[in-house]
Structure 1
Amino acid sequence: MELRQLRYFVAIVDHGSLSRAALVLHVAQPALSQQLRQLEQELGAQLLHRSAQGVLSTDAGKVFYEHAQAILKQVADAKSAVTQSAERPSGGVTLGLPHSISGALALPLLMAARERYPEITLQLTEELTGNLAEQLKSGRVNLAVLLDDGQLGPFACTPLVEEELRYICRAGSVFARPGGSIALEQALAATLILPGLQHGVRPRIESVARAAGLSTANVIEINSIAILKSALLADMGATILPAAPLLAELERGALVSQAIERPAISRTVVLCAPKNIPLTNAAAAVGRLVQQVSAELCAGGVWLGATALPA
């Protein structure tokens, strides 16, 4: 198996046809087809379904595509690590962010990276926490911001912030409760719009509830932040989330939030890197920048409900 075969296969999948991939790669289509056949023979599996309309990945092809992407990224990182300097880090860095954190961190981080490290190409990917952990293990992302659920053993972790979870609903909602705060038992008794269990917020809520002898009763599961916002604004229920992903609606008064007490709920946000894959100078620089920007956002009150943690 050769690296060029991996590059060819990834290009075919990305462009959806052999002819388009051949044009992009500047390779004759018969030669591209031959390399693909050799790859499939070596693996003993069909990777692509071919038709007049193009190609689609088989189940085996989908699995192999993920591995091929990870291998090619690690090769590129290895080349970059040899050529870049510590004083002027350069190259590509991929950072994974959970949906519920990107609203607070993504834009300030991109602006800071552009200003301080103009030779680094920073790519942000937004995913569910569970998906990010898998991508970090395989090397498809260099770094990831994750939630400390006690199962981050495979990673080297640096604490970033402790983030408060709040009870949030539409202004004037039937689910609104008087006062500046609400007991956890009251919050859990409402119809709640929450992410699924694969989302980092939900397991934390369930864990705190169990420890208090409580449970969620009536839950509408929505994994998309955009759809969850729409459901809140339609007054289908309330939610328990950090303020960051709903900040725009909270600031304009469309949504209101209350602190949760007896007990309060918070989550620990950490920056993670794989233990078995060395960081390039560029990735290490981005990691330091994530810590610095997170602390600045907390100190300035921009990351609402978050308190910076010592590294």
Structure 2
Amino acid sequence: MTDCTVMFEKLFSKSGLSLDRLRGFMQMAEAGSIARAAPGDANHQSQISRQIRELEQFFGAELTRRRGKTLTLSAAGVRLAALVREQFQDLEDFRREQAGESKSFLVGGGASVLEWLVVPALPGISHCLGGATLLTGTYRSGGLRDAVRDGKVDLAVIRQNVVPEGGHSVVVMKMGYFLCIPRCLLKAGITTREAAKPALWQSLPFAAGRDGGQTDTAVRESMRAAGLDFRPRYECGSMLQVRQLVSLGACAGVLPTLGVRELDEKDVLVIPFAPMKEFGRALVLHWNPRLMRRRNVDEATLKGIARLLRDGAA
């Protein structure tokens, strides 16, 4: 018996560990509950529940905890899920390599960042990754940071201030904010200087976000700090919707740097939004170095992807 065989012997000295059981556990971990992992299928739900119990017996650890009617992962369950996710990804990459297929990578970001920055760069990113198949996923900032940490997302374009201390990232661009006013809403002869004064803003219809995120909160607080009774006529689910309403001439709005690039300044007056001058944030390409090493993506490739995104933002 070789040293390697002896090292792993205890893993196979008792029953309870199998790929199928680990798959059932991961279905629950990814879905967030057994019911969501197998909706409407009582037999499959029962099977997953049994598989989790068998894994708990094998590892001698509680993998889930019940809080009221909700089943959540324990600390040990979170750790096991991360390990299994890595191993399944390694096996899938190996299968694809042997079949001559390209690898698959998930790129995450906010809805507007994906639309305005990431999607136009996808062909170049795929080329950098050897012709990889690319998937995109929409996340809030905190969730995206955690998804990178847990290996659920390969690459993320995210605000720099969200990246944990010591996290691996490369700056892509600095994001500023601009007040965008359709010229059809302004009286003839209004100058840019006059339009930049809060006194004028109170008379304008506005669109704003409604997700309670950092940008949405900052816009509302900045308007109130400028002395406005800020009551947007339109409350939107994303900056994409705000920009669309501005483009239609329906209202004014505060948009990030990426959102003003395709606005026609003959139709829309674009002014730096002074109340949020200090709110500007850098966007970075963020990754999990352990995951990238396992997937054979080196730092030079990651920096090349960041350059692609940076060139697209210019």
Q: TM-score by structure 1 length?
A: 0.64
Cα root mean square deviation, aligned = 4.8
How many residues align structurally? 273
Specify the structure having the higher radius of gyration (Cα). Answer: 2
Q: What is the aligned partner in structure 2 of residue 259 from structure 1?
A: 272
2:216 to 202, 208, 215: 202
Deviation, structure 1 residue 267: 2.5
CA deviations on 1:214-256 (whole Å, 9 max, x unpaired) are: 47741545333454345546766422112434655x2496654
Tell me which amino acid in the other structure corresponds to 1:287.
Answer: L
Structure number having the greater helix percentage: 2
CA distance in 2, matches of 1:283, 1:72: 23
Is the 8 Å Cα contact of residues 160 and 268 (structure 1) preserved in structure 2?
A: yes
Pick closer, same or farther for the CA change 1:262–1:169 going to 2, 3 Å.
closer
2:39 to 7, 10, 16: 16
Q: TM-score by structure 2 length?
A: 0.63
Pick closer, same or farther for the CA change 1:77–1:161 going to 2, 3 Å.
same
Q: What is the aligned partner in structure 2 of residue 22 from structure 1?
A: none
Pick closer, same or farther for the CA change 1:233–1:255 going to 2, 3 Å.
same
CA distance in 2, matches of 1:71, 1:188: 53
Deviation, structure 1 residue 179: 3.4
Q: Secondary structure at the match of 2:184?
A: coil
CA deviations on 1:40-87 (whole Å, 9 max, x unpaired) are: 58456679xxxxxxxxxx6326999x95875553223444788999xx
Are 2:18 and 1:7 aligned? no
Q: Secondary structure at the match of 2:145?
A: helix
Tell me which amino acid in the other structure corresponds to 1:228.
Answer: V
CA distance in 2, matches of 1:134, 1:272: 11
Q: What is the aligned partner in structure 1 of residue 122 from structure 2?
A: 110
Unpaired runs of 5+ in structure 1? 20-28, 48-57, 298-302, 307-311
Are 2:283 and 1:272 aligned? no
Write out aligned runs for 1:67-216 (5 A). Answer: 72-79=84-91, 91-149=103-161, 152-153=164-165, 155-173=167-185, 178-180=190-192, 183=196, 185=198, 192-196=206-210, 198-202=212-216, 205=219, 209=222, 214=226
Pick closer, same or farther for the CA change 1:44–1:282 going to 2, 3 Å.
closer
2:238 to 224, 238, 241: 224
Structure number having the greater strand percentage: 1
CA distance in 2, matches of 1:62, 1:293: 38
Pick closer, same or farther for the CA change 1:150–1:116 going to 2, 3 Å.
closer
Unpaired runs of 5+ in structure 2? 1-16, 29-33, 57-62
Is the 8 Å Cα contact of residues 178 and 254 (structure 2) preserved in structure 1?
A: yes
Pick closer, same or farther for the CA change 1:164–1:35 going to 2, 3 Å.
closer
Are 2:303 and 1:288 aligned? yes
Calculate percent identity across the aligned residue pairs. 15
Q: What is the aligned partner in structure 1 of residue 254 from structure 2?
A: 240
CA distance in 1, matches of 2:38, 2:269: 45
Pick closer, same or farther for the CA change 1:203–1:193 going to 2, 3 Å.
same
